[in-house]
A and B are shown apart, each in its own frame.
Chain A
Amino acid sequence: MTQAPKRRTPEELLEQLQAEEAYERRGRLKVFLGYASGVGKSFRMLDEGRRRRERGQDVIVGAIQPHVPQDIEAVLSKLPVIPLKIEQDTPVMDVEEILKRHPGVCLVDGLAYDNPPGSRNRSRWQDVDQLLDAGISVITSVNIQYIDELRERVQKITGKQVTQTVPRAFLNSADEIVVVDAPPEMCMPHGQDGDAAARASSMAQKLSELREIALLLAADVVDRQLEEYLTRHGVTQSFGAQERIMVCITPRANAGAMIASGKRNADRFHGDLIVAYVRQPEISAEDQAALDRNLTIAKQANARIEILEGEDPVESILQFAREHRITQVFVGHSTQERWWEKFTGTPLSRLIRRANNIDIRIFPH
């Protein structure tokens, strides 16, 4: 549904204008996201730097690991480098020097590195933030194992502990994110026999799980960008690229089955799960207790819980669903046996009729 953009107050407009101006001044951030070392993210980053330089952009390398493979060396030789400083035996990006030189684009490898204690910024990603604030665009690369929020999950797969991390919010702020996708064998040692083959297949499994995480992370970031873009242009259009499931519960609903099914669907599609309840004015103590039990089930399923207000439950559900680009609404059968005989005009029939672009899933009681 396309609706007219919401009327905004002068304060909101001013705020937006200031945000836009700040955004215009800030450098652009582009991130190459990899799922393992060896997929080629550093190469992709440097190669993009080289191509931009050939097209006349002012590109420098701000941070690169000291020992690089031959193919990377070849690209690196075509780019000016501001060398890392060594502080307390730790290589540190020379932020002052880069700010002084003020290039158009700075290439930064090893985004998750920590700076030694006493440095202005604790981590390299904060150095990058500073460069961006100064209006310098940054192209960087990071491995998903260094994303703070993913650390535990990745650790379970790899068995490797990581202490230096980048917060997910920093990735979300990127203007562009690119997945460096490569089939697992590219990252695996060649030549296999017996034990080696078994090790290789177990490694293939791990890499495949990491690869999936990286692709979904990128999809989520892209989805946010799409949403921001559409909101900026005042469009509440739904493309449905990501499944968003809204389970509507009542005190009497068979909430356990509905939420379990919602969770299964959301998990399989890697989508969002929202459990919504439209507040009813007068509710018996018994119903309130039943409702509380249902909301507890929703919390256990890690669903986002929404309490909706409004005189007409169907209207409230549809309005929320459209605003939040819901793709599937789950509802229970009405408890009144006879509603169905008067099909037109019942809440369920109205919901079905008006939910043009949304799947309606009706649950038995």
Chain B
Amino acid sequence: MSSSRGKLKIYLGYAAGVGKTYQMLEEAQELKRHGRDIVIGYFEPHGRKDTIGKTENLELVPRRKTEYRGTVFEEMDTDAILKRHPEICVVDEFPHTNIPGSDREKRWQDVQVLLDAGIDVLTTMNVQHLESLNDQVWRITGVRVRETIPDWVMQQADQVVMVDLTPRALLNRLARGVVYPPEKAMEALKNFFQESTLVALRELALRQTAHEVEIRQVDYNSPGFETVPSLNEVTDEPPRRKESILILVTSDPSTAMLIRRGKRVADYLHADCFAVAVQTNGKNSAAATPHSEAIQKHLNFARNLHIEVRALEGHDVAKTVVEFARLNGVTQLFLARPPAGRWRELGRGDLLQQIVKMARDMQVIIVADRTQRQPR
């Protein structure tokens, strides 16, 4: 990355109303007082008076109006910001999806453009929008979050700050109508804003922020600014082989969940990460069956998360995967649980069984079905 790239700072919260935007704007005001050239590129007022007050005296780059199916939508005007070229730009709601027909699909991609142009960006998001937590968030909230941020985007941020508020205080704010108007507040209380849900999301946010702080710890005294080992790590253990994780991509819908989990574990263990699919050859692989289309979709998904992707060919899936793993120094093999109905087939040469049998020189991880919701 060139030194002229802008710096990204993320204000991380766990629900609407914890005060992310407020805190971001407070910092924007402070920066302006120190004479910095700062503008608001996008701001979502949500009718919150205190927050709106914090935008006073800050220059606002007008939004771009786009018509889509007869309705006018307003999006951040990235071109106008580039033209104005401030030192720092405030961009609310980082995970937002732009209206179809916009230059880029996602706001985080617009932010990449600003950063590439050397503009610093302050932005806000909630932890539930992080891609690798998607299944866990579903399990906690029952909400499938569609607007997600790949983990590498957050990892590239220069700073992640937790905006913390206790769930009780948040519920009080909600009850006082600070967060949403009354009807919407009632609806929110029934769904997302249950205390146990909020507590669990808050814990995720705290742990994520701690992780983000940890991976940014560099020892400035050592040559090449090496990352220091985690605080409680044993330092006198012999050097280990670098961990390397292989995720087996299939056409099964559970693969998305498997990819998220495998990548998350790889990130935490500082391991390499491959996503590998095996096309059983014989048929022409160019023929697009629904099966191979699903595999392609999953490989693309993995690629977007910055996972190294390989499509292999072979008659015998288990053998092909295990041999590839061995050749590439893979130490951990991640597999999905077979769907419930398919356990019956296990006796007859099931893939999972074959792989576990063959891959006896590496760890095999059968990943939990995090898509299952438990009734309350």
Contact = CB atoms under 8 A, between A and B. Distances in A.
Given A268-B268, A362-B366, A364-B363, A229 B199 contact: yes
Interface string B156-193: 00010111111011000000000000000000000000
B210 A216 contact: yes
A344 interface: yes
Interface in A327-365: 327, 333, 340, 343-344, 349, 352-353, 355-365
Given A181-B161, A357-B369, A202 B220 contact: yes
B353 interface: yes
A39 B368 CA distance: 40
Contacts, number: 168
B136 A242 contact: no
A353 B342 CA distance: 11
B60 interface: no
Contacts of A209: 217, 231
Contact of B162 (A181, A239, A340): A181
A86 interface: no
Given A240-B139, A241-B203, A357-B374, 4 more contacts: A205-B217, A205-B218, A222-B199, A357-B139
Given A364-B361, A364-B362, A222 B196 contact: no
Interface range on chain A: under 10, 10 to 19, 20 to 34, or 35 or more? 35 or more
Interface of A: 1-2, 30, 153, 175-183, 198, 201-202, 204-205, 208-209, 211-213, 215-216, 218-219, 222-223, 225-226, 229-230, 233, 235, 237, 239-242, 260-261, 263-265, 267-270, 327, 333, 340, 343-344, 349, 352-353, 355-365
Interface stretch (B71-79, B278-286, B312-320, B343-351): B343-351
B69 interface: no
Contacts of A183: 9, 159, 161
Q: Which 3 A-B pairs have the closest CB atoms?
A: A215-B210, A219-B206, A176-B166
Contacts of A205: 217-220, 228
Given A226-B199, A240-B136, A178 B165 contact: yes
23 contacts: A2-B376, A181-B164, A181-B209, A208-B216, A212-B214, A216-B206, A218-B164, A219-B203, A226-B203, A229-B196, A230-B196, A233-B196, A235-B376, A239-B203, A240-B139, A261-B363, A268-B269, A343-B350, A355-B368, A357-B368, A357-B369, A357-B372, A364-B361
A153 B231 CA distance: 9
A324 to B, nearest CB: 15
B61 interface: no
Given A153-B231, A226-B203, A241-B203, A353 B353 contact: no
Interface on chain B toward A: helix, strand, loop, or mixed SS?
A: mixed
Nearest to B169: A176
Contacts of A198: 220
B263 interface: no
A362 B367 contact: no
Nearest to A260: B237
B88 to A, nearest CB: 14
Contact of A212 (B210, B234, B376): B210
B105 interface: no
B232 A267 contact: yes
Contacts of A226: 196, 199-200, 203
B213 interface: yes
